[in-house]
Amino acid sequence: METDLSSQDRKDLDKFIKFFALKTVQVIVQARLGEKICTRSSSSPTGSDWFNLAIKDIPEVTHEAKKALSGQLPAVGRSMCVEISLKTSEGDSMELEIWCLEMNEKCDKEIKVSYTVYNRLSLLLKSLLAITRVTPAYRLSRKQGHEYVILYRIYFGEVQLNGLGEALCQ
């Protein structure tokens, strides 16, 4: 795929993927904090509203995401994963879900990276915002308290499904 893009398109694509990955982590983790969010629509978004999505970044989450990325980007065969788990007050834990971001090899030479890819990533991120709030893990996170808490872990590499249950791993 790299040889199919101009150097400027490659630079733009890498920048979009980096910010998309960071915002993806924010969207997933914030959906598991147990808090409802209310956002106002803006007719004139600022330049800091990547992908026209004005959610405030949580500095700790950004730090953890950047640490996990450590200069890498999601790519073909290299997933960025956000693992969501539950930990009880007794110390027991259970993985609830894993969200993964990975690229595929398809490259449409007819599209403009600076416009089309950015808009598609924007739509995907907004869809992720909605989807993360309709899953059972979201409802569970809204009820967390002294009995259990929801935790997250960000990692790069092969998706680790073994903690999600025997039926899934077979």
Provide the pLDDT for residue 43.
61
The DSSP string of 102-167 is ---S---TTS-IIIIIHHHHHHHHHHHHHHTTSSHHHHHHHT-SSSEEEEEEEEEES---GGG-HH
Helix then strand then coil, % of the chain, to nearest 5: 45, 20, 40
- Mean residue pLDDT across the chain: 85
pLDDT digits (tens, 9 = 90+) for 80-105: 999 999 999 999 999 999 999 988 87
Give the pLDDT confidence score for residue 169 in this predicted structure. Answer: 54
Reported residue count of the chain is: 170
Tell me: the pLDDT tens digits for 36-58?
A: 877 666 666 565 567 777 788 99
Cα–Cα–Cα angle for 22, 65, 166, rounded to 5 degrees: 105
Nearest CA-CA partner of 129 in 1, 21, 23: 23
CA gap 83, 153 in Å, rounded: 5
CA dihedral for 87, 153, 63, 59, sign (positive or negative): negative
